Structure 1
Amino acid sequence: MALPPDTRTLVWTVPIRLGHWCLAALVVVNLFFNDTGGKVHRYIGYAAAAVVALRLIYGLVHRHGPSGLRPPSPSACRAHLRAMFSGEVARATGHNPLGAAMTFALWSLVLLLALTGWVSRWDLFWGDDWPIVIHEILTIVLQVCIVTHLLGVIASSLLERQNLVRAMVDGRKQVDEVPGRDGRASAAEVTHR
């Protein structure tokens, strides 16, 4: 018996998926080195910041589609949250508004962590604790955001009735058609209305 054809749409390119999993691995591995503050911790942190920087550049080059850089509006986030609680969630091309907001939050935290880690090494701040204190606070905020991100992926997978982790592995998801100019909505229209 033949398998039914895969009706899922390719939404995540190989560079997006590699960047996602590289960043996830670097952040998780670096959490194990966070007490030492040594070279390994620093270099992993800088590598994570480099992955984010490359992703931002990729998003600027590929402005259209799910890979583009479009922060969601607060109204889109509120509307998506209401839809989640009513059980009427549309399958977005790319990230839904809350997922997009979390993506920007995670990227910002990784960049701020790299910056505060770098600043804490400056001779100018030798003996000052504030860069390290800020770095530690940002680490806790990042950990909370990671847990929230994972819970959001689980909730969205259940509500949308699709495996979003698999989508970040093979790049394909089920996407609801939303009428647009040509009968289909663009990623920006679906994700950021």
Structure 2
Amino acid sequence: MTPVARVRVWDAWVRLTHWAVAGIVVWNLFGPTDSTHRLLGYIAAGLVVARVLWGFVGSRHARFSAWWPTRLHLIEYLRSLASGKPMHHVSHNPLGGLMALFLWFLILALAMSGWIMRLDAFWGEDWPQEIHAWLSVAVEVCVCVHVAAAVLMSVWTRENLVGAMVTGNKRDTTNKKAS
């Protein structure tokens, strides 16, 4: 049996930002809403901004050009799922890329709504807190979908996606789609 070739996909910065933001999100969803909550929320937003910048200048597979979820890529990938033969992507698959973008948007929106809640101009207003609460529920739902999809696709494709985000390495196939 020939060993499966591995390729470095996720560099240290991608993995660090992923797990740091994941930890902060879990802490802030279930921990107290105090000054630590606010500080960690701003740190998470800063890490997301740094990761977005890394999407333009970072390593090959971290760049948006490697995994941007275009309409065509999404349709093609959904068809491969429907056929029971999901396409292999070295970087994010189109649905994973779409989820990453959506989670980043939600985290930035949470930080913004949290900041707005603290402004004197909105003192006594309920809507900033209501928006913040709705955004936090949206993050909870998306995180659950993200984790479930990573586990499901790991089993279905026999590609340990969670492990890849720990080690940075994924299976390298000759029939790969690098999008």
Match of 1:47 in 2: 43
Write the mapping of 1:14-29 to structure 2, written as runs, cut at 5 A. 14-29=12-27
Say whether 1:74 aligns with 2:71.
Answer: yes
Larger mean Cα displacement after TM superposition, 14-23 or 68-77: 68-77
Larger mean Cα displacement after TM superposition, 168-177 or 144-153: 168-177
Taking the aligned partners of 2:173 and 2:78, their CA distance within structure 1 comes to: 18
Q: 2:98 aligns with which of 101, 111, 115?
A: 101
Taking the aligned partners of 2:81 and 2:161, their CA distance within structure 1 comes to: 16
Q: Per-residue CA shift, 1:30-74, capped at 9, x if unaligned?
A: 1123xx532111011111111111111222212x62101243112
The letter for the 2-side match of 1:60 is F
Give, in angstroms, the shift of residue 85 of structure 1.
2.5
> What secondary structure is seen at the aligned counterpart in 2 of 1:89?
coil
Taking the aligned partners of 2:153 and 2:77, their CA distance within structure 1 comes to: 11
Taking the aligned partners of 2:155 and 2:51, their CA distance within structure 1 comes to: 28
Taking the aligned partners of 2:62 and 2:23, their CA distance within structure 1 comes to: 20
Q: 2:146 aligns with which of 129, 138, 149?
A: 149
Taking the aligned partners of 2:119 and 2:125, their CA distance within structure 1 comes to: 10
The letter for the 2-side match of 1:67 is A
Give, in angstroms, the shift of residue 122 of structure 1.
0.4
Match of 2:30 in 1: 32
> What secondary structure is seen at the aligned counterpart in 2 of 1:9?
strand
The letter for the 1-side match of 2:29 is L
Q: Per-residue CA shift, 1:111-167, capped at 9, x if unaligned?
A: 000000001100000011111111100100111100110111112212221111111
> What secondary structure is seen at the aligned counterpart in 2 of 1:173?
strand
Structural RMSD (CA)? 1.9
Tell me, yes or no, if the aligned pair for 2:4 and 2:172 is still in contact at 8 Å: no
Q: Percent identity?
A: 38
Structure 2 alignment gaps of length 5 or more: none
Tell me, yes or no, if the aligned pair for 2:113 and 2:129 is still in contact at 8 Å: yes
Say whether 1:114 aligns with 2:111.
Answer: yes
Give, in angstroms, the shift of residue 190 of structure 1.
2.7
Larger mean Cα displacement after TM superposition, 76-85 or 162-171: 76-85
Tell me, yes or no, if the aligned pair for 1:49 and 1:114 is still in contact at 8 Å: yes
Match of 2:8 in 1: 10
The number of aligned residues is: 177
Write the mapping of 1:82-93 to structure 2, written as runs, cut at 5 A. 82-93=79-90
Write the mapping of 1:160-171 to structure 2, written as runs, cut at 5 A. 160-171=157-168
- Relative to its length, the structure with more helix (as a share) is 2
Structure 1 alignment gaps of length 5 or more: 179-184
What is the TM-score when the length of structure 2 is the normalising length? Answer: 0.91
> What secondary structure is seen at the aligned counterpart in 1 of 2:62?
coil
